[in-house]
Amino acid sequence: MGLWVLEAVLTLVILYSLLPFFLSRVAGIGVMRSVRGSTSTALTFDDGPHPIYTPLVLDVLQKHGVRATFFVMGSQAELHPELIRRMHREGHGIGVHGYRHRPHWLMSPWKVRREAQRTAEVVERLTGVRPTLLRPPWGLLNLLDFVVLREFRIVLWSGMVGDWRKQSVARLSRRLQKSLRAGAVLVLHDSDETVGAEHGAPLVMVEALEKLLRETAASGMDWVRAEELERETGVDQGSRSGKLPWVTRVWLGWEHLFQRLFHVQTLRSDRDLLFVRLCRYKGREAIELDDGTVIQRGDQLMEIHLNNEQLLALHGQANSEMQLAKLLLKEMRRALRVVASHLNHPDHEAVKALYGISLINRGIGPLGFRKISMSRGLFALATKWYLRVLLRVLHPQGRERMKIRTDALVPQQVVLSRQELFARYL
């Protein structure tokens, strides 16, 4: 397996699974884990409904007048519709936990969406209300969840107490008490049928829950459904005025990580339109340019990357697509002058050309670049998939272009020789 294939596979693994884990579980981007400014605490339950444990949980909640949110599996909801109806009748929130308890890392984004929508349809058919909240099994997201699950608010947690394992009521109660704070989201489990759960563990959880609700009633703690945490602050946590949409912030976070992993560098500042990276040409076929430059496998190139954060800033300055195109052309020429100056250094004498891969590549000819079709293979397929997702997430008309111009959205290699770069921009 070639080095470029390993790089492509590594990039896809990081992009699809590890990056969203960091963004959601560590940074809290694109998800609700807790809510600042809230004076209440949300109680949530995963993996049900279960014919034995869920009724016990509902009985305890009803006894103490507490409303919670149940993230249910569609397959279980179909088996126990009376429990879904009871949850709804008693005022609890119902969210999606997938049709079956499968990690999103091991499913395609389209399968994730189908299973989420299937579960939502089951709940809507039983209650008349379609769920708007979703919690992925084990809290594991893939990156495209932020795109394909946009109809749902993704909810994780700030407190997890290991109640899927058997332990003493006293120990579980202590762990619950430590997790309590204003704005927290606690997660418990009303089933023992998922992977890793110990048989009978929810019975201990029910006892600890009874003890917790009895003790917090005396302190006046306010328990609410997960969706009510954000409502009481009066702020939409997913889209605050003056900030980029959270899905865009997620993607830009990935790009910053990508730059560190693959040594993509700024030239003057992070406001430049282009970033660069030294690399070797890995194509099997030589590239012959009009000025006589021949690029062969192993030759050194300077790979260029668009600064999408700056591209978004340019869009904010433009009043139309035509004005945006003019601004982009102007900034691109300015950036290429900076690249030419950077390349005109003894340390970069071996660099034969600038090289990049672009999905929207019409109009790049006047800048001096030559377009070259990519050879078919894993790398071309991965690049096409990556760039289409990038267009859909970051471009203001990305979704419409995906529908209308699909046949034209083919990634092309764009190459500008060192000689031509210096002649035009130095």
φ/ψ of 385, rounded to 5, equals: -65, -45
Kindly state the DSSP code that residue 193 receives in the 8-state scheme: -
Query: Comparing C-alpha atoms, which of 153, 169, 139 is closest to residue 32?
Result: 153
| Integer Cα distance of 138 and 93 in angstroms | 20
The DSSP element (H or E) to which 303 belongs, if any, is: strand 300-306
Look up residue 234 and give its two tokens.
């009066």
| Integer Cα distance of 72 and 193 in angstroms | 13
Query: Comparing C-alpha atoms, which of 369, 383, 353 is closest to residue 4?
Result: 383
For the question of residue 189 being annotated catalytic, the response is yes
| Integer Cα distance of 259 and 277 in angstroms | 9
User: Within the chain, what is the greatest distance between any pair of CA atoms?
Assistant: 84
Reported residue count of the chain is: 426
Catalytic residue among 46, 190, 192, 299: 46
Look up residue 336 and give its two tokens.
């290429």
CB 302 within 8 A of CB 281: no
Query: Comparing C-alpha atoms, which of 165, 163, 157, 151 is closest to residue 135?
Result: 157
Within 155-272, where are the H helices?
Answer: 169-179, 201-219, 226-233, 246-261
The DSSP element (H or E) to which 358 belongs, if any, is: strand 353-358
Per DSSP, the three-state class of 87 is helix
Look up residue 74 and give its two tokens.
């569609």
For the question of residue 47 being annotated catalytic, the response is no
Q: Residues with Cβ < 8 Å from 378, sequence gap 6 or more?
A: 5, 8
Catalytic residue among 50, 101, 189, 305: 189
Q: Pairing state of beta strands 159-160 and 185-189?
A: parallel
Within 220-276, where are the H helices?
Answer: 226-233, 246-261
Please give the positions annotated as active site.
Answer: 46, 189
